Structure 1
Amino acid sequence: MDVLVNMLRLISDAFGDMEKLPAVLILCGGVLAAAALRLAIFYHGEPPFYLYRGTLITLVIIGFMETCAGLWLTGDLTGRQDTGKTILGFSILPLIIVAALGGFV
């Protein structure tokens, strides 16, 4: 759970400091993708198979897209700052979903 708390702290810092925004997007996207992929591969729980796996694969794709957005943001930080903050704001919900499924245990 400390990972999630630290990531939320980094997200709040990135909203105040424009220079941290691409690094935080890359970090959060990578951690989200890795945690969701770990759950999809190693966890065999009770939930309906296709719904559970489909949700996790969607979260992996969202994590990769967030990482790509962080790389895209490094090209023109001043012009793309608002887009990066919007993506970072929407990335909190997938992090909470992965944490609720046990991805950070």
Structure 2
Amino acid sequence: MELMAVIVRILALISDACRNAEKLPAAMISCGVVEAAAAIFLAAFKAPGGIFLHHGKAPFYLYYGIIGGVAIFGFAEAWAGFWVSGDLNGRRVVGKTILWVGILPLVLVTALGGFVFMG
């Protein structure tokens, strides 16, 4: 799939989940898995560039810290999707909050180039 097609599909899942609570667990699981996979591919196959080079070791470690944090958050979001599916009515608000917070790591991975490997 192309970069834009993946982003549009994930955003459509998030939008549908906000309107229909039954789609919330699927959106959380999908978004979490895509975030984690993109972060892992980014860490494995793309070396830090730009501002993360030639400024000492701190930006280099910051790059991999961001990628690691996004991967952990992606796995946690996917697990929360399974948790929300157990009691959809009682956990819907928590699920929507996690899904909306999950947009930031998705943007971070996209900005750092993680979706290049998904195509």
**Corresponding residue of 1:74:** 85
Say whether residues 1:43 and 2:46 are aligned partners: yes
1:42-80 CA-partner distances (Å, limit 9, x unpaired): 111322321101110000000000001001011100000
Say whether residues 1:87 and 2:60 are aligned partners: no
Of the three residues 82, 96, 100, the one matched with 2:107 is: 96
Cα distance, 1:23 vs structure 2: 0.7
**Corresponding residue of 1:57:** 68
Aligned partners of 2:48 and 2:63 also within 8 Å: no
Q: Percent identity over the alignment? A: 56
Structure 2 residue runs of 5 or longer lacking an equivalent are 53-58
- Root mean square deviation, CA, Å: 0.8
Q: C-alpha distance in 2, partners of 1:26/1:45?
A: 28
Q: How many equivalent residue pairs?
A: 105
1:84-103 CA-partner distances (Å, limit 9, x unpaired): 01111111111111111111
Say whether residues 1:27 and 2:38 are aligned partners: no
**Corresponding residue of 2:55:** none
Q: C-alpha distance in 2, partners of 1:45/1:77?
A: 40
1:2-17 alignment, distance < 5 Å: 2-17=5-20
* Runs of 4+ more than 4 Å apart: none
**TM-score, normalized by length of structure 2?**
0.85
Q: C-alpha distance in 2, partners of 1:8/1:100?
A: 16
Partner of 1:44: helix, strand, or coil?
A: coil
Q: Which has the higher helix share?
A: 2
